[in-house]
Amino acid sequence: MLASPLKFFSVFLTLVLVAGCGFQLRGSAGFPAELTPLYITEQNSILKQSLVTQFTQAEIELSPSREAARWQLWLSNVRHNKQQTTYSSGAISYELQAEVDYQLLTASGQAVNTQQTLRAVKIYNSSDNLFSEESDINKLRMEMERDLASRISRQIGRVTLPATQTP
């Protein structure tokens, strides 16, 4: 009989401690409530689609136009690079890189944070099948863009926003 209340209390205490320390699941970003409406400048890409999904799930209102937004998330185009790293007995290894610049701006274009450059790197070992190779490389590039989006959203979640302004 005594074990049940003690067990309940220990579970409750654990939950309070975990919640109190700011624990978040990996990949989940907490955004300031004031980060709405937000306009994302980059055109269609896996990176932008991933960011739109993350902001929407966090109930951040996204603005279709820069003029109606309170904040702007400026993104450069994603730069992809593929460099051969090794070649031995018919097998080729490539280093795939994806790089993007981003910056959070106010509606008037003033910087909230300094411009940041993020890079993701993957190693790909080539096969003899050229069709499979191109498909595999495209999948890795999409994965790298999703990784960059997660990193951007985590960093945006830690930004301290200036006083609220009207669009």
Task: Note the pLDDT of residue 13.
Answer: 66
Query: Which residue type, as a one-letter code, is found at position 128?
Result: D
22 DSSP 8-state letter: T
Query: Which residue type, as a one-letter code, is found at position 17?
Result: L
- Split at pLDDT 50, 70, 90, the class of 141 is very high
Task: Note the pLDDT of residue 30.
Answer: 78
Among 33-42, 58-67, 97-106, 126-135, the least confident range: 126-135
Q: Which residue has the higher pLDDT, 73 or 28?
A: 73
Task: Note the pLDDT of residue 166.
Answer: 53
114 DSSP 8-state letter: -
- Split at pLDDT 50, 70, 90, the class of 87 is confident
Tell me how far apart the terminal alpha carbons of the chain are, to the nearest angstrom: 60
Q: Across the chain, what does the average pLDDT equal?
A: 85
Task: Note the pLDDT of residue 26.
Answer: 41
> What are the structural domains of the chain?
32-157 (3.30.160.150)
Query: Which residue type, as a one-letter code, is found at position 78?
Result: V
Whether 110 shows a pLDDT value over 80: the answer reads yes
Greatest Cα pair distance, the chain, in angstroms, is 70
Among 40-49, 63-72, 128-137, the least confident range: 128-137
Backbone angles phi, psi at 148, to 5 degrees: -60, -40
CA distance 44 to 31: 23
Task: Note the pLDDT of residue 15.
Answer: 64
CA distance 101 to 119: 9
- List, for residues 59-79, the tens digit of each pLDDT value: 999 999 999 999 999 999 999
111 DSSP 8-state letter: B
Pairing label, strands 91-106, 71-75: antiparallel
Q: Which residues pair with 80 in a beta bridge?
A: 98
Contact call for residues 116 and 89 (beta carbons, < 8 A): no
